[in-house]
Structure 1
Amino acid sequence: MRLSDAVSAFIDAARLEYGYSAHTIRSYRRDLTEFAAFAGDQGLHELADADLELMRSWLWERQQRGLAPSTIARNVATLKSFGSWLESRSLVPGNPASRLRTPRVPKALPRVLSQEQMDRVLTRVAERASGGDPEQVRDHAVLELLYSSALRVSELTSLELDGFNRRERSVRVVGKGNKERVVPLGVPAAKALERYLADARPQLLARSTPEAPQHHRALFIGNRNAAPLNSGAVYRLVSRELEREPGGGPSGPHTFRHTAATHLLDGGADLRVVQEMLGHASLSSTQVYTHVSMERLAATYRQAHPRA
């Protein structure tokens, strides 16, 4: 079996059988395509050639090019998943990546906005939406929902109309691994969503050409031909708003998720409740926000206490 065919079969299995997110699928495809190209450059095209030595050579070459440890760590994870799948399908006698070592990646605390900063962001967006422009009304609903429910961007863009429960003020979300959960949302987010659904969404639908497919199930739709809102548009929206707020670190939608989780813990929410809300499989993934809260507390102490 050729290595390229095995890669294609693995990507199909990851997408169709295991229900991995679109982001994970893109990472797997990119990493394994580059790995197969590296093998091909050395005249190695068969699956049997993809042994531990070849994998180590590829990772070493990437390290020599100066790729970040986090990128190399992702490459190792991809190879291990690929190797495990190959072994499970009896395509190889054992997982060739099982002995790969993952480089240590320094853990950086996520960027989190203060309550005052988040209030400023949402107030600015609400003021623009007050003019009635359908795109601004939609963007206001998107940002309110991201902060209120701490959704991943992929979860937000895959929301469907019947997933919004007005009476219970909640959304039904399909997260990683196709796991479904119900997440509450606050009054401002619910009101922004209701306004979007009543006024802005019908206007955006009306812009589509007669031959354009109608995506009646998608909760959020884009500006052209009523196609579902994509993650790139949400990234651009969030980045544009966060550029106006001081503070280093990433400026994508995950900043809203980090901020929401941290504010919940600051307000006294139980860690396991926050874990369930975020859709984390492991409590350790949620515990990073307790460190963020402690860092914020320490920073406030150092700034305010006279004998700090």
Structure 2
Amino acid sequence: MPEAFQLAVVSDVHYASPGEQARRGYEARAIPRRLPRLLVQVWRHWIWLRDPLAHNHLLETFCARAGAPDLVVANGDYSCDSAFVGVSDAAACASARHVLETLHAHFPGRLAAVLGDHELGKMSLAGAVGGLRLASWERATGELGLQPFWRLELGPWTLLGVTSTLLALPVLEGETLPAERVQWWALRNAHLREIREALTALAPDRRWLLFCHDPTALSFLAEEPAVQARLATLEATVIGHLHSRLILWQSRWLAGMPEIRGLGAGIRRMSRALRGARSWCPFKVRLCPSLAGSELLKDGGFLRVTLPADARPAHWHKVRLPRTPQPAAR
């Protein structure tokens, strides 16, 4: 057995296939009212991400910089989801497929991939376009080969990957199609059973890591007795979704806030998530940034994690990626 196991964690690649590249301005077009549209454009331009379609090259940069780890964990959100319905959209599926095929090619037999919210669909930020689609679930778990739940063993460590969208369904139910809600709840119940069984089967002193794309799910995991019983041996929960430490800090500061209505499904979704954010603390959250990071801080990158073979605490290192312009197409 080696002295330690080396992991590389990448999240929120948000690759844009040619079909998604052709939809430039897709977010603004999905917001019918002028004031919310202007606010979102200001938010994107100065704080979040000015051009979501301009960072495809960072995937190859990650692959080159990651080296030869024992395992690569991709923590969700592989496409730009420019139709807001997940990978049931052909262009978003092409984006996600390219990312997964690239990662498999660079790290054969060493990739574990988590489902993110954009694989399954979500409503636009301040509009009412899109949402979860069962067709996206079927394509993600079938054609793209993404496992909703996985468990891996590395020496004294157990790694679990879960689907945050299923766990956070009480928040997201309003973004599903009415005819599909019963099936979504059935998927959630089955997913929770898998998580309970896996945690119950762990030896009492077994150290474990949780990979969960969207931290909204954590307030619902916190309600599970099987999870509560194992929090003492949890090393960390690796999340994505927030893209930047700026948003993680903001989430902690706004934890417990009331739900906001009247500004669109996306704002309501985020405020409901923040209302439960106080329950994140026992999960020892570690953020894997997006490759591009935020526009304000330009803090994109990925994580290197060292897991000692004697189960001593893990060592965490964020690798920053420079915000370089995307090379011109030839």
Give the TM-score normalised by structure 1.
0.26
**Of Structure 1 and Structure 2, which has the larger fraction of its residues in strand?**
2
Tell me which structure has the larger Cα radius of gyration: 1
Structure with more helix by fraction? 1
* Higher relative contact order structure (alpha carbons within 8 Å, sequence separation ≥ 6): 2
TM-score (norm 2): 0.24
